[in-house]
A = this chain, B = another copy of it.
């Protein structure tokens, strides 16, 4: 820890290898900025999620600095940050970049990720990590070969009350677990045609958030036993779905993209020891008769902090369980044709 020896306790000071920690400040007086150079990060895909979440979260992460962006759209730039038309152009012009975060649609994810890994850059992937499971397996191999970090993120797992729900469930006997994930696609994905194109996952794009929470908090793995997927007649991805998982408890999910008004992102849990609801996409957890946990949305800040930590540790984190359930649903599910969808 910077040669500070026994005076700093690493168990207390988890961040001190990345930035000047409070502990270091207390012990050694005021520090000016990070002790270690921040990772120079490139962000690829400057769309809605980049502006809403990635850019402010990177700005809030001391271990990272946004050093370049890439977008096919020449107007999609960030003030004061060099912008490039492609990741290839970016990497050629800015070789000092050490890490790349991909916020592009999943269909375009692999080529850029492979390029970045081959160039020796650490890579963070928006969810879902790819349009196929096999490509993410291939990326894991490339990252291991290059000796760099690959981080497949699941932002909903970082919602404020997910840890509380996992903790609460860990010593209970599950009876039922019902996911209800309903939102208005016109509000949340306005005009985003890629979600309706093959590989765009349709209603599983939000639904995979629920599955990422489910796989993070259930004490034992489950697997799909049946699914109904409703495809609009004029689209290649489903607009709604019902899933039933097998196992000792009744685990079900209902995804709907045609919900009017405010979204419903809830999981209702029943155990022998009592009931609970995880709501607001994981931001609020309320066990019946128990203490409620709730908090503000810091999902992407937590992801970028974790990315920096993984880089520092030389580790990767790639959990494909949520995408595996989605692939299983497409493989196992019955397809039902529904009304055409127009924006």
A132 at the interface (CB under 8 A from B): yes
Residue among A133, A221, A325, A330 with most chain B CB within 10 A: A133
A133 touches B333 (CB 8 A): no
* A200-256, CB < 8 A from B: 201, 221-227, 231, 236, 246
Can you list 17 contacts pairing A with B, beta carbon distance less than 8 Å? Answer: A110-B246, A131-B332, A132-B223, A132-B224, A133-B133, A134-B222, A135-B246, A138-B221, A138-B222, A141-B221, A198-B332, A201-B331, A231-B335, A236-B334, A327-B330, A327-B331, A330-B331
Q: A131-B331, A131-B332, A198-B332 are in contact. List 14 more A-B contacts (CB 8 A).
A: A132-B331, A132-B332, A133-B133, A134-B222, A134-B321, A135-B223, A135-B246, A138-B223, A198-B226, A198-B227, A198-B334, A199-B331, A330-B330, A331-B331
A299 at the interface (CB under 8 A from B): no
Q: How far is the CB of A52 from chain B (nearest CB, A)?
A: 26
Number of interface residues of A (CB under 8 A): 36
Given contacts A133-B133, A327-B330, contact A110 B223 (CB under 8 A): yes
- With the chains together, A326 CA to B132 CA distance in Å? 10
Q: How many copies does the complex hold?
A: 2
Q: How far is the CB of A240 from chain B (nearest CB, A)?
A: 16
A328 at the interface (CB under 8 A from B): yes
Interface string of A116-135 (1 = CB under 8 A from B): 00000000000000111111
A137 at the interface (CB under 8 A from B): yes
CB-CB < 8 A to A131: which residues of B?
Answer: 225, 331-332
Residue among A131, A326, A327 with most chain B CB within 10 A: A327
Q: In the complex, which of the residues B132, B223, B236 contacts A328, with contact meaning CB atoms closer than 8 Å?
A: B132
- With the chains together, A231 CA to B236 CA distance in Å? 13
Q: In the complex, which of the residues B223, B326, B334 contacts A331, with contact meaning CB atoms closer than 8 Å?
A: B326
- With the chains together, A258 CA to B253 CA distance in Å? 36
Q: In the complex, which of the residues B227, B231, B328, B334 contacts A134, with contact meaning CB atoms closer than 8 Å?
A: B328
B133 touches A327 (CB 8 A): yes
